[in-house]
Amino acid sequence: MSNRVMRFVHVYLERQMCTAFSRAIDGINQSDQPIQIEVEAFCVHELKDLDKLEEFRQAVERADLLYVAHVFVDDIARNIAKVIRQEGQKVPTVVILNAMPELMKLTRMGGFKMGSEQSSEYSKLLKRFKRSKDDENETVKKSSGPPLKTDQMMALIKTVPKVLKFIPGKMQDLRTYMLCYLYWLNGSPKNLRSMLLMLSKQYFAPTENITFDAPVEYAEEGIYHPDGERWFTSRAEYEAWYKDRAPSALRVGLIILRTSLLADNHDHYDAVIRALESKGIGVIAGIAKGLDYRRVVENFFMDKGAYAKVDGVITLSSFSLVGGPASNDAESAVKVLKELGVPYLSAIPLEFQTIDEWKGDMSGLNPVQVALNVAIPELDGLIAPTVYSGYNIHGGSKATPIAERIELLTERMRRILTLRNKANRDKKVGIVLFSFPPDKGNVGTAAYLDVFESLYLLLQRLQKEGYTVEIPESREALIKAIIEDESSQLPSANLNIADRLTMEQYEQINPYWKEIAQTWGEPPGELNTDGSSLLIFGRHFGNVFIGVQLHLVMKATPLSYSLLALLHRIMALRPSIAGLIEFMVPMPCCTLGPMVHWNSCRAIKWV
């Protein structure tokens, strides 16, 4: 076997592509092909770090082939472009796909250079990939993001290489570039293996007897199930297969990524599907391609023909519905999600930190994941972000399901569906009134607002909507029912005691009481207790329970509580607060019902 070794540097956005490349390279190195490949892979978002950027710079200096895809963050694109213009000048072959124009112009493959006058033919083709003027003039304003439209790109790359095959000269390099797109958009380990062999044959070792296969094209969308032998092309086809396997008539739609399935990186998806089915919930796992996932919602989740719309949706990528990890078009996303009109939950895969890093960091998700998986997708309406999978190492590996988190995610969806299917008269509602500082006459206070009048109107509205509510005769009666004496809004507060939790009950319903005791000592503690039990302040009004926010710490502010949490390395609630929360969740007052914190501002200061 030849000792020739091609040094390959890969910049990726999606971890599953790194995994697919790793498997492709392992396949080449273990085969009888006359070359070996050494790879250095860098996640796009790692290149914000100066040390990692320096590693990338040094890797580029040694590279025979540099491959970059899916880079849409301006500052990172500029950093990569700067390295390519400097150290990257020595790299014989640079392939850049579906990225910022500044980066794509740096592509060079044999006689084809994207940013040169020689590439005018390609530039004409590229214009057809970009958004048309009609798109730009649509009522809905488009956000910045990838310059390529996947549908148009797929149509072109399937036909143009067939034509270019018969045109000699630099057009053959252009054809190779277009074939790279086709391999990448069908990015299985088999296709990526063939792509690397094609590039090595043409630009690294043309005299070697390197063989490779043409791109294998896979379905662009469909429905996936781990028990299915193939992807299903329609809801009707899937339901015909699934009807004897489905645990119930309920259906939860899952948004899963085509790239992960092609990379054979779907253990985490399978685990969620199995968990939902074990809870009696049928699943429709819609396969999303590119950066716009609306087609999954429209084609597989909507009410069409004989099939009702899904009862809820979980996105297993937790990216924006329109824009994915590259951008966000919340207006377009909200439009289709409003039409669907079901709960839309966020399941977060740890893409940019390992499971151990996430567990060991008090902040939890790192800033990149917070932005891409929590803050930005919330503009679409995503709720309840829950980490459910991750990787044990950086670089190419398969995602690992996190069993206890998948149980939390799927149980949350089960409870939401149970609540949605419950008659209003049977639903139980929990409300917690703002009170800070406690015992200072601040129960239900808010600047220039009448909290109790608003609460009274809410009770009336709930009754009108069919909830079982016992409404006091007036606002004043409501105040007196919760705060036995209206004058208790002064420092001499004497709140109504709705219930008492014995320590046996507290330990039974609160699985974390021992962790809390490490910070605050043995329960019941010193606050909101009669010495033997935890006091639950508030009152029941039929199926509505109105409680009162309790002390954070003794004579402390939220800021000092945060500092205390940092010192103790644990965000432990006081036993009294934990008792109120656990009392409202599993106890008869509020089982499987909605809970509302009636706060004085938009910050969640209580918990």
**Tens of pLDDT, residues 452-505:** 899 999 999 999 999 999 999 999 999 888 886 444 443 435 778 888 888 888
Which region among 116-130, 387-401, 525-539 has the lowest average model confidence (pLDDT)? 116-130
pLDDT of residue 155: 63
How many helices (H) and strands (E) in the chain?
23, 18
**Mean pLDDT computed over 414-438:** 87
User: Which are the contacts of 88, defined by CB distance < 8 A and separation ≥ 6?
Assistant: 60, 63, 66, 94, 106
466/581 same-domain check? yes
Whether 455 and 582 map to the same domain: the answer is: yes
Q: Residue 27 burial (CB < 10 Å; 0-12/13-18/19+)?
A: middle
pLDDT over 60 at 512, yes or no = yes
Give percent above pLDDT 70 in the chain. 78
pLDDT confidence bin for 79, thresholds 50/70/90: very high
Q: Are residues 414 and 469 in the same domain?
A: no
Domains in the chain: how many in total? 3
Report if residue 606 sits inside a domain: no
How much is the average pLDDT of 118-135?
51
Instruction: Name, in order, each residue with C-beta under 8 angstroms of 345's C-beta and a sequence gap of 6 or more.
Output: 312, 313, 314, 315, 382, 383, 384, 386, 409, 412, 413, 416
pLDDT digits (tens, 9 = 90+) for 139-166: 444 444 444 455 555 566 666 665 555 5
Q: How far apart are CA 195 and CA 213, in angstroms?
A: 8
Per-residue pLDDT of 356-377, as tens digits, reads: 999 998 888 988 889 889 999 9
Give residue 584's pLDDT: 63
pLDDT at 138: 44
- The reply to whether 109 and 36 lie within a common domain is yes
What pLDDT, on the 0 to 100 scale, is given for residue 73? 82
pLDDT at position 270 over 90: yes
Can you tell me the distance from the alpha carbon of 41 to that of 12, in angstroms, rounded to the nearest whole number?
Answer: 7
How many angstroms separate the CA atoms of 133 and 122, rounded?
A: 20
- Least trusted range by pLDDT, from 115-124, 205-214, 294-303: 115-124
Question: In this predicted structure, which of 304-313, 479-488, 553-562 has the lowest mean pLDDT?
Answer: 553-562
Q: Which two tokens stand for residue 277?
A: 């089915």
At which of 203, 236, 271 does a domain end?
Answer: 203
Helix, strand, coil content of the chain in percent (nearest 5): 45, 20, 40
Is residue 557 domain-shared with residue 519, that is, in the same domain? yes
Per-residue model confidence (pLDDT) at position 157: 63
The mean of the pLDDT values for the chain is 83
73 versus 232: the higher-pLDDT residue is: 232
Given a cut of 50, whether residue 349 has pLDDT beyond it is: yes
Same domain (yes/no): 23, 151: yes
- Please report whether residue 605 resides in a domain: no
Last residue of one domain, picked from the residues 420, 447, 471: 420
Is 397 contained in some domain?
yes
Report pLDDT for 172: 82
pLDDT in tens, 586-607: 444 445 467 776 665 544 443 4
- Chain centre distance of CA 103: 27
- Judged by DSSP in three states, 178 sits in helix
At 438, the pLDDT band (50, 70, 90 cuts) reads low
- Structural domain span for residue 541: 424-598
- Rounded mean pLDDT, 238-264: 95
Last residue of a domain, one of 366, 393, 420: 420
Of 220, 262, 274, 242, residue with least CA distance to 17: 262
**Looking at this protein, which amino acid is placed at residue 458?**
L
Locate all alpha helices (DSSP H) within 445-596, ordered by sequence.
Answer: 451-464, 475-482, 503-509, 513-520, 558-568, 575-584
Residue 319: closest CA among 401, 375, 364, 388: 375
* Pair (347, 461) in one structural domain: no
288 or 395: which carries more pLDDT confidence? 288
Q: What is the Cα–Cα distance from 253 to 347, expressed in whole angstroms? A: 12
In a domain? residue 251: yes
Question: What are the φ and ψ backbone dihedral angles of 267, each rounded to 5 degrees?
Answer: -60, -35
pLDDT digits (tens, 9 = 90+) for 179-200: 998 999 899 999 999 999 999 9
Domain match, 449 and 413 both:
no
Looking at residues 425-434, what average pLDDT do you find? 88
The reply to whether 451 and 405 lie within a common domain is no
pLDDT of residue 170: 65
Same domain, 304 and 184: no
The amino acid occupying position 181 is Y
Per-residue pLDDT band at 124 (split at 50, 70, 90) = low
| Average confidence (pLDDT) over 269-294 | 95
